[in-house]
């Protein structure tokens, strides 16, 4: 039987050939300390974080100071089987799911990365991107370091290994050299460390299960395994877990607090909380605010699944217009389904998303989505609704125009490929074939999410919307996307 995908495994690819040019999730990390079923908990935790990375997965455990690990390409359920789980005993572990944002999809870059150094074994997993990694790598190579991967994570391992200080101080010194957005888990034979960047760009949360501690990119992973949420890891903080329990340290003062706004808009699961804010509730408020800012008389409201459903419900509640499932997502197609011809490729859109004809036919439809990147996705979905008989299609977006690339772990195209960087809203409306188009205002987005009253933009990074990045960025050298590549 001819395969319907290219490559060696189902999700191989970088998304450039994806039917829908949606922004790609970064990565997800999960850690366990002090629980006898560490590997099993990591498996289920990574499964809950699968939406953050679908190309590779890995788990490393420590059993009485001995490392056991397995990494592979594909989904969590494809990478691990019973034999793999039984081969990884231990009461502590770190795990990782990865999405390749720069095109290199290979096992060498799958995490956690495991190293030998003078202090023993070292395993590292990260979510995010180190903006100045290229400069650090060049400096290390000039001093004799040899790199085995293209991952930012290996840069950290080299910085730690070269330090003459003990582990925690070496890690502090290493992180102090980094610029970017990141959440790290570092495991040695007897300790587990967790750290967030000085701005808190990438989420990382701490929980408890029995006598053990759990760390994860999102709180939804806690719900999956029955853990209780304790708190978010704070910007510039290092948590150290060892035989004596939990120790809280800092490697940098809190700088401008700037959690990624796209986590709230799109990336994180709606059942997760970030900084105490529930994603479903904040997305509903975005939809309600859109209704206030850009009401249009229509018959039904529908959301592009899955991330825009909550906002569509909010828009419908605010306007009194009926919410309907006008679009249905097929959950059993891969993200990188590649067809051999443009004709079949266009038909492939309907394999991922279908318009419900009996719902939209003869109706004026408000279509809610989270963002417009190149514009091709929105045009295809609008045309799906029109082909199903919609009389009008009014598009409402729960974010401001996405006009700038992200340097902190999101897979974004070059600025020249972002439709909002070169076209007016009216030109974008024409390009996507909509009857009307409105983007949520920046103040409306900030108010919908909430956050820290005394922080700039209520503690959000809005660089992809306003070109105001919380860190210094060398635009010639900085790598767009995730540092896992």
- Give the annotated binding-site residues for [4Fe-4S] cluster: 260, 406, 461, 464
Q: For this structure, is 484 an active site residue?
A: no
Nearest to 183 by CA among 269, 245, 102, 274: 274
Cβ atoms of 104 and 70 within 8 Å: the answer is no
- Kindly give, in sequence order, each residue whose CB lies less than 8 Å from that of residue 347, ignoring residues fewer than 6 positions away: 339
Which residues lie below 8 Å from residue 174, measured CB to CB, with a gap of 6+? 156, 159, 160, 163
Residue 354: both structure tokens together: 């279908």
DSSP 161-173: HH-SS-HHHHHHH
Binding site per annotation, positions for Mg(2+): 307, 369-370
**Number of neighbouring beta carbons within 10 Å of residue 83:** 8
Cα 429 to Cα 40: distance, rounded to the nearest angstrom: 48
C-alpha separations of 279 from 196, 275, 284, 379 in Å: 20, 10, 9, 27
- Exposure string (b/e) for 416-444, b if CB count within 10 Å is 16 or more? eebbbbebeeeebbebbbbbbbbbbbbeb
Residue 478 Ramachandran class (φ > 0 left, ψ -120 to 50 alpha, else beta): beta
Which residue reads 């799906």 in tokens?
384
Q: Which residue has the tokens 């180190």?
A: 130
Distance CA 151, CA 409 (A): 12
DSSP for 111-127, please give it.
Answer: SSEEEEETTEEEEEEEE
- The span from the CA of 390 to the CA of 383, in Å, is 9
Q: Is residue 404 within 8 Å of residue 373, measured between CB atoms? A: no
Query: Is residue 112 a contact partner of residue 39, using CB atoms and an 8 Å limit?
Result: no
Helix, strand, coil abundance in the chain, percent, nearest 5: 30, 25, 45
**Token pair belonging to 196:** 């967030």
CB 246 within 8 A of CB 208: no
Gap between the Cα atoms of 323 and 359, Å rounded = 10
Return the DSSP state at 345: H
Residue pair 485/100 in contact (Cβ under 8 Å)? The answer is yes
> What is the residue-wise DSSP string for 63-118?
ETTEEEEEEEES-HHHH--HHHHHT---SEEEEEEE--SSS---GGG-SSEEEEET
| Catalytic-role residue among 27, 60, 220, 482 | 27
Q: Which residues are known to be catalytic?
A: 27
């Amino acid at each position: 039987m001819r395969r319907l995908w290219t490559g060696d495994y189902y999700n191989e690819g970088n998304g450039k050939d994806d039917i829908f040019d949606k922004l790609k999730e970064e990565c997800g990390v999960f850690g366990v300390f002090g629980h006898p079923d560490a590997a099993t908990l990591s498996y289920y935790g990574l499964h809950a974080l699968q939406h953050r990375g679908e190309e590779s997965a890995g788990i490393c455990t420590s059993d009485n100071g001995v490392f056991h690990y397995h990494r592979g390409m594909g989904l969590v359920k494809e990478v691990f089987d019973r034999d793999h789980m039984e081969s990884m005993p231990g009461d502590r572990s770190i795990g990782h799911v990865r999405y390749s944002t720069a095109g290199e999809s290979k096992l060498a870059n799958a995490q956690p990365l495991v190293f030998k150094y003078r202090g023993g074994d070292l395993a590292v997993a990260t979510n995010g991107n180190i903006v100045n990694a290229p400069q650090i790598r060049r400096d290390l190579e000039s001093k004799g370091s040899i790199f085995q991967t293209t991952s930012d994570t290996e840069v950290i391992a080299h910085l730690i290994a070269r330090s003459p200080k003990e582990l925690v101080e070496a890690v502090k010194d290493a992180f102090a050299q980094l610029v970017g957005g990141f959440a790290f888990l570092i495991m040695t034979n007897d300790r587990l460390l967790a750290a967030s960047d000085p701005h808190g760009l990438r989420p990382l949360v701490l929980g408890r299960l029995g006598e053990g501690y759990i760390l994860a990119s999102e709180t939804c992973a806690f719900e999956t395994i029955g853990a209780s949420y304790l708190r978010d890891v704070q910007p510039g903080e290092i948590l150290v877990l060892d035989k004596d329990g939990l120790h809280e340290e800092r490697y940098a003062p809190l700088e401008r607090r700037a959690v990624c706004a796209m986590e709230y808009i799109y990336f994180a699961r709606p059942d997760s909380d970030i900084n105490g804010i529930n994603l479903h509730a904040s997305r509903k408020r975005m939809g309600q605010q859109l209704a206030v800012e850009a009401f249009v008389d229509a018959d039904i409201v529908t959301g592009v699944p899955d991330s825009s459903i909550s906002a569509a419900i909010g828009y419908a509640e605010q306007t009194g217009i009926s919410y309907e499932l006008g679009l249905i997502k097929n959950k059993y197609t891969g993200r990188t389904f590649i067809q051999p011809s443009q004709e079949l490729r266009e038909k492939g859109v309907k394999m991922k998303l279908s318009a419900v004809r009996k719902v939209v036919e003869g109706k004026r439809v408000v279509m809610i989505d989270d963002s417009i990147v190149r514009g091709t996705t929105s045009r295809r979905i609008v045309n799906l609704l029109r082909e199903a008989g919609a009389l009008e299609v009014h598009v409402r977006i729960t974010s401001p125009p996405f006009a700038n690339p992200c340097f902190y772990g999101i897979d974004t195209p070059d600025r020249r490929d972002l439709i909002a960087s070169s076209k007016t809203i009216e030109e974008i409306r024409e390009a996507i074939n909509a009857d009307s188009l409105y983007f949520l205002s920046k103040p409306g987005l900030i108010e919908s999410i909430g956050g820290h009253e005394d922080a700039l933009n209520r503690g959000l990074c809005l660089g992809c919307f306003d070109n105001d990045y919380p860190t210094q960025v060398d635009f010639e050298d900085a790598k767009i996307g995730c540092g896992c590549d």
